[in-house]
Chain A
Amino acid sequence: MSGSVAETDLKGLARPGTEKQSQAVVRSPFRDAMRRLFTNKLAIVGMLMIGTVILVAFIAPWLASQHPDKNGVFEAFPRNNKLPPSIEHLMGTDVIGRDMASLIIYGARISLLVGVFAVSLAILVGATLGAIAGFAGGTVDNVIMRIMDIMIAFPTILLALVIVVILGPGLFNAMVAVGIVAIPAFARITRASVLGESGKEYVMAARSVGAGARRVLWRHVMPNTLSPIIVAASLGIASAILDAAALGFLGLGAQPPTPEWGLLLSRNRGYMFTSPWMVFFPGIAIMFLVLGFNLLGDGLRDALDPKLD
């Protein structure tokens, strides 16, 4: 037998006559995630839905047939009240004759604002608390998480209700209340990520080559922590919009004349039996936007970590 195999060098790793090399494509996980996201049909539907609402909110002044005045009041046309859907009024009119479609179009701005604001608040406070708890450990961790547990012990609406009562009714306070209620979820996620990542080997590896704690946190832990937060953010916006609408429905959130969708529902409730469209459309609007965020959140979850539970 001639020639030990070990003596041979890398002769002919490529098939003779072709340029075929072994593919060492560098794919960043971010690009992978984006690819997965944009091939997920449901996620795309979600993004389109959200996009539609954002667009509507933007072009409200050109889209709606009625517009609020300086004080946010929509003009009432008592003689046009309770009209069923028609060509003039695609969604009918409400009890004092305002065009429902216009109300709902302007209401889109509010719902989007509420969702984004509340979740931003929740992430800001929650992620900070969670990160502190995760890094500090010990008593600090315990105290923070106990407080989170206590907050979670209350049904969200109840807690939000109580906060709104403390702060006083109104759209802004409702946004704050809904945001506060969402804090524990983000705190937990962040803490779990921090704890989970800190123990991981790549963190220890990074530290073993001299990377300091802050660098480790920033370049290694953060990107992995971001995934669940992003997913929770999208889903959180969905919940926030629902919660705010519920507060509006109970009369403790947005106040008239704000065309907040939940408020519209509650004000027109009494006439539901004779003029159901007044209740139907605001609800559909809520559902449309919330579904969009839920679909996106689901898609993000599948894209960012296919094995994320």
Chain B
Amino acid sequence: MNVYINGVGSVNAQQAGYTSNFLAEIQQTEQHSIRSIEPDYKAFINPTLIRRMGRIIKMGVASAKMCLNDAGVEQPDAILTGTGLGCIEDTEKFLGAIIQNNEQFLTPTSFIQSTHNTVGGQIALMLGCNNYNFTYVHRAFSFESCVQDAMMLLAEKAEQNVLLGGVDELTANSLKLIERLGHLKNQPLTNLNLFNSKTRGSIAGEGANFFVLSNTIAATSYAQLLGCKMLYKPENINEVTESLQKFLQENKVQASDIDLVLYGYNGDEKYERVYTEVSDKLFNKSTVAYFKHLSGEYHTCNSFAYLLAAHILKSKSVSPSILLNDKKRAVKTILIYNHYRGINHTFSLLTAC
């Protein structure tokens, strides 16, 4: 059974929502963090629901609505949400209130909104959707767990539309924590120079990217999704390449078929080596590109890579802003390889349809 991306929706750092001239204009910044360009949420969400939504929920619900509109789907058969840190702003708010007021005069709203499946729950509420609704919260496997689940759902029952997405938010506090953990660049840097900066750390980001996956090809189809694989804590680069080769084999794709590889290079020199070695070993004839200078690093940023890949395959064009090494191939097959701090590695294959 084939799986197609039939709709997309996004709140991202490059433009307010996804349009067909995605990346015609690139956002440049010297900050070490990129925030989403937020749309007018009232265009997508009922004001009576909005009042009880924190920012991450608005980003997720709006993206989901944009995506459903794009796919022409009213009721998805399943709603899957991935988030690495969940509703961190409301978590901070509630904790702050507990601490400041010594556990008194606490109000329920931020507690309720801090529950990580609130995005999925609010989408269901907005649509009146009684169907399957899961939320995955596992670092850089969060979004990919949704993809895996969606592909199983579509194999279990044909003629379904599965809505899935990745969403994470950046708050002033969470940015501070990323900095204190040593995950952030500490030298001056423009995001466009992120690749090969030869220093440690990356830039932080946030966003929401939603997709409708279906077995049925449609006029709205962006791409075909062949497969997605998660690899946990590989011990060395050999294990990565072996796993990747097996993944390609399982999907009946040769390394030489890959026209473009989209890597999760995040500017942290410790974590870039594996991409370069994999590229040298397997993909030296493929065009090499990256995306985290446009999205920032966040647990579900691979969903931005999916958006980018879907856009490339549908528009049949590649923005020069993402290219690292252009082999000038017509792009029909894209491999996305991302990892988070060497722990959560994921491979995804998309082709034109």
Specify whether A and B are partners.
Answer: no
Chain A residues proximal to chain B, CB less than 8 Å:
none
